[in-house]
Amino acid sequence: MDSATASAETLRNQISATEDELKRLKEQLASVEAHDAEAAEAAQRGMAGLDLSAAGLVTENGSENERKWPLSEEEYKRYGRQMIVPSIGIQGQLRLKEASVLIVGAGGLGCPAAAYLAGAGVGTIGIVDGDEVETSNLHRQILHSTAKVGMKKVNSAISYLKTLNPNPTYIPHRTHLTPQNSTSIVAPYDLILDCTDHPTSRYLISDISVLLSKPLVSASALRTDGQLIVLNSPPLPPGNEAGGPCYRCVFPKPPPAESVVSCGDGGILGPVVGVMGVLQALEAVKLIVGGKLKAEPASTPQSDSKPKPKFGSESESKSEQPTIPAAAVPVPVAASMLLFSALSSPAFRNVRLRARRPKCFACSSEAGLSLEGLASGSLDYVLFCGVNMPINILAPDERIEANHYRDIRGKEKHFLVDVREKVQFDICSLEGSVNVPFSSLQGNRGIAPEGKRPAWVPDDLPDEAPIYVVCRLGNDSQVVTRKLKESGLGTEGRFIGDIKGGLKAWREQVDASWPEY
């Protein structure tokens, strides 16, 4: 037995050392890829004046400064199948090549959106995300892979996109968008895609899009449902009623903090968030090829004109370009919200939205929003959305550690209540626990009148037997514990408390084999 224990400990040490080495290698890989991305961007800026004939550029009259065709031979082959679509054509493809799109979030929405925009030939794609790839991301965030766990999501995404299409310029922003950095990050781009998953970021992205006159494509997904809105389109100045509504017009007040459920808590089906991300890319393509990126039509490019430099680069071509009229892509005049439900029939339905709200804080004539106020930090989005911080409503003596509960299991008669939803309880549960879903205890449901036992408490449970409550993370269990105490169930002298940190703590302190989901 001692020999087996020693062998197991040796293996654990070897695994730990291997994981440390793997993390170190991933950090080195991320650094190398980041250097490659910066080098590629510098090379892109310095392409003007180089001999491009070997890359398939067809010239006329032997002059390398005059193009016969607006795209390279490789681009005609790559984009040919979409260019022959009547609503795209060569004009639409050139608009895509000239466009710049910022994708905020390289997760379940941002990954498919980025892949299809890169594949379509959008000229410049920026990606904002400060997170690292985790194993739990991989079932839905299709640009990442097992080998990239621990790598910055932005680096992972760009490395994949370069293999898909090396033509666009990819710009990494390895940070989270904040009120302080939003102006400098968003300003150079033509179009914004909100691929985040929390109200705080959605209000911020909408606000900066209004202030900088950028159209915005926003989407969200949870469980088997999703929604999509095209906002601030056309991107007219605040006070102009002809402009598209912003996020604050549609949702003047954020949802209650306790009602906000993340993918980590509520779950998400990969194809559902994938559908919404693909639809974001589709709406972006429609806006671009339809010439709907600006409040007013852009002037026709001339052969001797110099395009406005972007991202610190100079004009890359002085060649004559054809006039690019707006393509015949239908863009709705009235804003609408597209709702998707994978389990409904039909799966899609549209909800018509009103125009800009007359007293909107962001886009009305009475708007109180400004770039100065945003940069100063006077707008507290966390406070505005009332972000639900970790619950701490029980006193220390009303809670026990997971390892303490392990010690008393089997030694004293007690009752263990697991308040996770049934679908989670079915994945894994502690032996002897009884499932009473948190949703069944909302309001006064599931709680008996004062002095009475709830129906789910065993009749043979002694009056002095303690009741322990457990959930996934130790938040819901505190709420239920407080409800049980207030119902009078603890007046018999019994202890009612929760397991601090929930089943996550059980895995960390007691059973490392406990499934982490």
d(CA 315, CA 59): 19
- The separation between CA 71 and the C-alpha centre of its own chain, rounded to angstroms, equals 34
Q: Which of 111, 263, 360, 385 is catalytic?
A: 263
Distance (Å) of CA 366 to CA 48, 179, 241: 46, 21, 12
Read off the amino acid at residue 390. Answer: P
Residue with structure tokens 């990606």?
Answer: 127
What strands, in cross-sheet order, belong to the sheet with 169-173?
Answer: 169-173, 124-128, 100-104, 191-194, 216-222, 225-231, 336-341, 348-352
d(CA 61, CA 68): 9
Residue 372 has a CB neighbour count (10 Å cut-off) of 7
Question: Active-site residue 360, yes or no?
Answer: no
> In the structure encoding, which two tokens stand for residue 342, read together?
């994978």
Question: How many residues comprise the chain?
Answer: 517
Question: Of 173, 83, 86, 66, nearest to 121 (Cα)?
Answer: 83
Taking the alpha carbons at both ends of the chain, their separation in whole angstroms is: 32
Question: How do strand 496-499 and strand 348-352 relate by DSSP bridges?
Answer: unpaired
Is-contact 79 121, C-beta < 8 A? yes
Question: Active-site residue 263, yes or no?
Answer: yes
d(CA 112, CA 279): 9
Question: Of 342, 350, 180, nearest to 269 (Cα)?
Answer: 342
d(CA 142, CA 157): 9
Residue with structure tokens 């079915």?
Answer: 426
Read off the amino acid at residue 199. Answer: P
Is-contact 109 276, C-beta < 8 A? yes
> In the structure encoding, which two tokens stand for residue 32, read together?
């190398």
> In the structure encoding, which two tokens stand for residue 166, read together?
């090396």
Residue 47 half-sphere exposure toward CB, CA atoms < 13 A:
16
Buried b (16+ CB within 10 A) or exposed e, 217-241: bbbbbbbbbbbbbbbbbbbbebeee
Is-contact 367 239, C-beta < 8 A? yes
Is-contact 153 132, C-beta < 8 A? yes
Beta bridge partners of 101: 125, 191
Question: How do strand 434-435 and strand 415-418 relate by DSSP bridges?
Answer: parallel
At 64 the three-state DSSP class reads: strand
Active-site residues, by number, are: 263, 471
